[in-house]
Amino acid sequence: MIHQYSGISPKGDLLLLQKLGEKLENKSFLHINSTKAGGGVAEILQRMIPILSDLGVDAKWEIITGDDRFFDITKKIHNALQGNPEVITESMWEYHFDVNKRNAELMDLDADAVLIHDPQPAPLIEFRKGGRWIWRCHIDVSNPVQEVCEYLKRYCEKYDAAIFSVAKFARAMAVDEFIITPSIDPLSEKNRELSDEEIQETTERLKIPVDRPIILQVSRFDRFKDPLGVIKAYRTVKKYNDCILVLAGSPATDDPEGEVVLNEVREYAENDPDVHILLLPPFSDKDINALQRISSVILQKSLKEGFGLTVSEAMWKGKPVIGGATGGIPLQIVHGVTGFLVHSVEGAAYRIRQYLNNPEMALRMGEKGREYVRNNFLITRQIRDYLSVWYSIEHKEKAILEL
């Protein structure tokens, strides 16, 4: 399987991956998160686990399960870590722990390395049986509610290491900390090349007209993704450039607010026939791929963002992108080179019009964006980094270069 990335991923990444695979062959690597569908973490793991197995690593993936109360609590924790004022009571923390305890009794946590993703399963560290344990934070914790952050650190500091997506997210903790950006898989259903027939099938089924420029945002229906701000920007652009707006997203099983926000978006759109709000079922990767390929401009106008992989997905397809200047988006968008960063609705509208009125510039920046993703944000690089962290905490006396 790894040979399929030859000629796509940088050669150095592939060589180091093979070396690491030899060193870690037959060792077990367990990943645990809170959902198999919806959101970037699940999407990455779906692609990563088979590649790890192909490298000779015994890769496994488990999810913790919980009821509505559990996911209401973890959503509040998530929002608080991203700076939203939330109060997490002692009884809520106790319930968070109790659900993890019940999950631990049902899981086999015995592995050479265990990678725990985000706050939902963080308390599982209390039930470790051995091996190296790493906590992976995918969210923007640059300005958290301090009490919530401090409480969660009680668990995080019991791990062997912590991984963050962006340097400014890292917290002062008594464990080794690493910065690893997320990635996309260029061979996945969401990012592979599509035929004209495949694209046409999607647009006809979803009833998306292709006779005018399309502005697209793909994301969960979450207030931090600012879908209402995207509609406001579109309305400004619409006064000067005839276009349509597509807001597309899939539900995440661990996000109880999604339906509420979706209804807010539908109400705000006011039945505008040129605003297409698509709630796609999980695993609608080909449809998202097709929507990105027919779009003239792709936005990720987030107000807070762990990373925002939809930016790299769009850039991989050579599309001009606009992103909120927050979280991991500025790592992907080099302002004025691979896309534009914006701080306001007015800024987003201005940059959309700039792209629509200057297709040569849009094409040029799209080409630079694709190459930037090739060198920095492909899944082979992320697997290389995860295995390097595992190797380094297991062999502290050795440099990775001594492989």
Share of the chain above pLDDT 70, in %: 97
Quick one: CATH architecture of 2-183+378-402?
Answer: 3-Layer(aba) Sandwich (3.40)
pLDDT at 402: 59
Q: Tell me how many helices (H) and strands (E) the chain has.
A: 14, 12
pLDDT at residue 217 is higher than 60: yes
What's the full length of the chain, in residues?
Answer: 403
pLDDT at residue 353 is higher than 80: yes
pTM of the model: 0.89
Mean pLDDT across the chain, nearest whole number?
93
pLDDT at residue 135 is higher than 60: yes
Fold classification of 196-376 is Rossmann fold (3.40.50)
Taking residues 80-94, what's their average pLDDT?
A: 94
Residue bearing tokens 């991984």: 163
pLDDT at 397: 65
Quote the tokens at residue 340: 């534009």
Dump pLDDT digits (tens) for 16-31: 999 999 999 999 999 9
Q: Determine the Cα–Cα distance for residues 195 and 42; give it in Å rounded to an integer.
A: 26
In contact, 246 and 278? CB cutoff 8 Å: yes
Out of 4-13, 166-175, 264-273, least confident range: 166-175
> Would you give the DSSP letter of residue 6?
B
pLDDT at residue 253 is higher than 60: yes
pLDDT at residue 403 is higher than 70: no
User: Where in the chain do CATH 3.40.50.2000 domains reside?
Assistant: 2-183+378-402, 196-376
pLDDT at 166: 86
pLDDT at 142: 86
Share of the chain above pLDDT 90, in %: 83
Q: Determine the Cα–Cα distance for residues 169 and 142; give it in Å rounded to an integer.
A: 5
Taking residues 98-108, what's their average pLDDT?
A: 96
